[in-house]
Chain A
Amino acid sequence: KQEVTQIPAALSVPEGENLVLNCSFTDSAIYNLQWFRQDPGKGLTSLLLIQSSQREQTSGRLNASLDKSSGRSTLYIAASQPGDSATYLCAVYSGAGSYQLTFGKGTKLSVIP
Chain B
Amino acid sequence: EAQVTQNPRYLITVTGKKLTVTCSQNMNHEYMSWYRQDPGLGLRQIYYSMNVEVTDKGDVPEGYKVSRKEKRNFPLILESPSPNQTSLYFCASRTGATNEQFFGPGTRLTVL
Interface size on B, residues (CB 8 A): 26
Say if the beta carbon of B61 comes within 8 Å of chain A.
no
CB-based contact B100/A44 at 8 Å? no
Query: Chain A interface residue count: which class?
Result: 20 to 34
Q: Are B101 and A106 in contact (CB under 8 A)?
A: no
A100 touches B (CB below 8 Å): yes
* Neighbouring B residues of A105 by C-beta, 8 Å: 40-42
Residues 29-62 (chain B) with a chain A CB within 8 angstroms:
31, 33, 40-45, 48, 50, 56, 58-59
Neighbouring A residues of B48 by C-beta, 8 Å: 99-100
Whether the pair B100, A100 counts as a contact (CB closer than 8 A) is no
Minimum C-beta distance from A66 to chain B (A) = 14
Name the prevailing secondary structure of the B interface residues: strand
Segment with Cβ contacts to A, from B13-21, B65-73, B103-111:
B103-111
Q: Are A44 and B90 in contact (CB under 8 A)?
A: yes
* Complex Cα spacing A105 to B44, Å: 10
B99 within 8 A of A: yes
* B102 contacts A by Cβ under 8 Å: yes
CB-contact partner of A43 in B42, B58, B99, B105, under 8 A: B105
Measured CB to CB, the residues of B under 8 A from A are 31, 33, 40-45, 48, 50, 56, 58-59, 88, 90, 92, 98-106, 108
